[in-house]
Structure 1
Amino acid sequence: MESVIDEIYRTQSRRVLATLIRLLGDFDRAEEALHDAFAAAARTWPVDGLPDNPSAWLVSTGRFKAIDTIRRRARFDASQHHIEDSLYTVDTTEIGDMEPIEDDMLRLIFTCCHPAIPSDAQTAMALREICGLTTEEIAHAFLVPAPTVAQRIVRAKNRIRSANIPYEVPGREALPQRLDQVLHVIYLVFNEGYSASSGDDVVRADLTAEAIRLARLLLALLPHPDARGLLALMLLQDSRRLARSNEQGSLVLLADQDRSRWDRAKISEGLGLLAEAMRAAEISTYTLQAAIAAEHAKVSSAEETDWRRIALYYDLLLAAQPSAIVELNRAVAIAMAEGPAKGLDLVDAILRRQKLQAYHLAHSARADFLRRLGRAEEAIAAYRTALSLCRQEPEQAFLRKRISELAAASERQ
């Protein structure tokens, strides 16, 4: 039962939290209620068995645990009575449904992305509350100190509380002004699922599925080309999910994947959405990324990939969204088109500018170029640097394997 509860926590806790935030009207109170609910589950489910609807059970238990806590506090603070009273007015039939018309997770994203909250705090708070990442994991992803992330999240919660920001999806007239940041958060949720920043799995399918579900819901609310581009990108990327690791959970590189395991239905839907998004007057960065993913999806083997076309898309993406990460991806595409020496020059230039020094994939790409150039000792050193920065176990195993292979080959020479 312990493993079942752990899996439910991993896959459902963020949606339970989103509903508790709506019911309780406070982030901190909802997080406390979530932990109390799972503690109660750990005590009662091994005895009573798994409830028919674990999420609804957790929401109901968490809510009543919060009511009990507030009642105890209210004995000492009369100002708490109105909070207690408001919690008893909730229609409990909605708890059992768990699918209100305006989705609680989408409400949570719009609350985190309210214009009154600074953009850096919006992102940190969304990753904390929606993905369940720790402040340390968020700090590692954005290359900033953990206390800085913690302060941003605290300030964002205080702003929501002090400004009485409503926990709701805004009216249709306000959606366009909020769209960019909401799409960005959904994109970050997907990325964390597509390539987990830490842990034992290559992919967190619960997060990729949730991001796709939210994008569909948002697209239904606001049929916008940028939303289509993002959904196309996520579908095309997620189509490869089953092929990205083997039966042992080890990482499988794109060139080595069994393409018969790619989800053709997702590819077909993604290509259709991409075609619609490409007809827009302005092409978003999500649509450009989807176009890159489509180049892989459209061919039956890695050898057929048009890397020069992909590099051109990265040129456009870099012009629209200058960043070292885009530069790195462009360097990889150019290396595939023109050879590893060119890619090595580009990555070294990025690192000389003190960009991506703490990003393991930059050192991993550099190591691969060195390996392909036959510079084994330098490649091993670069792989070791990447390994020291990597937090995901399957990637760590892959890097250790590369180091071992190169070391063994050097000994034979």
Structure 2
Amino acid sequence: MVEEVFRAEYGRAVSVLTRVLGDIDLAEDAVQDAFATAVRRWPVDGVPASPAGWIITTARNRAVDRLRRAAKGAEKHAQAALLAHEPEEGEVGDVPDDRLRLIFTCCHPSLAPQARVALTLKLLGGLSTAEIARAFLVAETTMAQRIVRAKGKIRAARIPYRVPRDADLPARLEAVLAVVYLIFNEGWLDRADLADEAIRLGRVLAELMPDEPEVWGLLALMLLVASRREARLRDGEIVLLRDQDRSLWNAALVAEGQDLVRRCLRWNRPGPYQIQAAINAVHSDPPTDWHQVVALYNQLMAIAPSPVVALHRAVAVAEVEGPAVALLEVDTLDLDRYHLFHAVRADLLQRLGKNPVPALEAALERAEHPAERDLLRTRLGLAAADQQDRADDDHQRDHDPHPDRHAAGLRRRGRRR
């Protein structure tokens, strides 16, 4: 139960306490203390009627204790006294803007772009440093240093905890959208709370900045991807898009997402999220028009090139120009740390009749999510068995005094497969 509350409420609790305390580090420490207390007390005392309110109240009390112990003057005593009498209406009811304030605080222009995203994922999503490092394809120690430096910069520069004025919003928009999308990506497969929170924040941003097409593009992208949530897993294993049962897709989310894509097209100010939303809109209209998908990826590469975008483009190229052309493109990419790079290579190799086992082994070694690992294990088992069959056939052919009869047997086996 504590773990469920942590996943659902950690970001909100840190946001509320940051508003109250004005200190991100103190807020995070107090919330972590509160959850540690819950681990000890809830199994004995029972789960409180309002777990989120209990966490926030306990965290605030812990913060009061910390301030009083560390008090070195009238300012600290006054801060502790003020906090002790802070009204509690926000602790049980909804505080819709606190999480958005925290995002904008963490996405201040004085912070390095990747640090902005990483810090917000840590504070708002409650993600571990290891999970964030995996999302950025960097070492955990590197990411830990970025997060510490970002917190220090916020403290030293006295960056205010608030949604900025209208004139300041565009300068922070790119990082804010990146944060929301990464929160969604971390949650949409098996953490519906995070994915739904990202969509909620997307809707709030759309109300806050109604004339920004990239905001609407991101919202459309998240809705279209979220529409496939129920079809994405089968018995705990990932189901690829081409194999999904489309009757399980959420038709309302598909319709809303497609409508937002059409709205973005009328602006004629294309950006990365709008193009990705358009790609997903094409996928949601069967059969997929792969020529259109390639054209959209070409546009995405022109305005926001990256190896990951190139990898996804190659998947579409394989459907249009064949796996051989796609494999040539994939093999130019520097994505060795990325498990999907090796998984795509394996698929292309298999379609070309080549051995995919080493690539699947590399993908499995790098994959983190249990469902992804299960899918890769299944693919690896099938590929290894197929390679063994091929080896047995080659051995039999080399030692068979009747090669014509052997060839006929291979044809029969091929028909059975």
In the alignment, what sits opposite 2:108?
A: 114
Alignment of 1:93-112 (within 5 A): 93-100=89-96, 103-112=97-106
Please list the CA deviations of residues 231-277 of structure 1 after superposition, one character each: whole Å capped at 9, or x if unmatched: 0010001100110001x211111111110000000011111111111
1:400 correspondence with 2:377: yes
Percent of aligned pairs with the same amino acid: 47
1:251 correspondence with 2:230: no
Q: TM-score of the superposition, structure 2-length normalised?
A: 0.89
| d(CA) in 2 for partners of 1:134, 1:38 | 15
| d(CA) in 2 for partners of 1:5, 1:138 | 22
In the alignment, what sits opposite 2:78?
A: 82
In the alignment, what sits opposite 2:219?
A: 231
In the alignment, what sits opposite 1:320?
A: 303
Alignment of 1:11-410 (within 5 A): 11-74=8-71, 80-100=76-96, 103-194=97-188, 202-223=189-210, 224-246=212-234, 248-299=235-286, 304-350=287-333, 355-376=334-355, 379-410=356-387
| d(CA) in 1 for partners of 2:142, 2:386 | 45
| d(CA) in 2 for partners of 1:142, 1:218 | 24
**Structure 1, 142-151 or 182-191: larger mean CA deviation:** 142-151
In the alignment, what sits opposite 1:197?
A: none
SS class of match (1:166)? coil
Q: CA deviation at 1:96?
A: 2.0
Give the direction of change, closer, same or farther, for the CA distance of 1:281–1:306 in structure 2 (3 Å limit). closer
Please list the CA deviations of residues 1-22 of structure 1 after superposition, one character each: whole Å capped at 9, or x if unmatched: xxx1111112221221221221
Contact conserved, 1:56 with 1:98, CA < 8 A, in 2?
Answer: no
SS class of match (1:279)? helix
Q: TM-score of the superposition, structure 1-length normalised?
A: 0.90
Q: CA deviation at 1:411?
A: 2.6
In the alignment, what sits opposite 2:409?
A: none
The one-letter code sitting in structure 1 at the alignment partner of 2:143 is: V
Contact conserved, 1:135 with 1:150, CA < 8 A, in 2?
Answer: yes
Contact conserved, 2:10 with 2:125, CA < 8 A, in 1?
Answer: no
Instruction: Name structure 2 gaps, 5 residues minimum.
Output: 391-417
RMSD over aligned CA atoms reads: 1.6
The one-letter code sitting in structure 1 at the alignment partner of 2:64 is: I
| d(CA) in 1 for partners of 2:247, 2:217 | 25
**Structure 1, 59-68 or 20-29: larger mean CA deviation:** 20-29
Contact conserved, 1:288 with 1:313, CA < 8 A, in 2?
Answer: yes
Contact conserved, 1:186 with 1:211, CA < 8 A, in 2?
Answer: yes
**Structure 1, 276-285 or 37-46: larger mean CA deviation:** 37-46
| d(CA) in 2 for partners of 1:177, 1:229 | 18
Q: CA deviation at 1:79?
A: 5.2
Contact conserved, 2:217 with 2:273, CA < 8 A, in 1?
Answer: yes
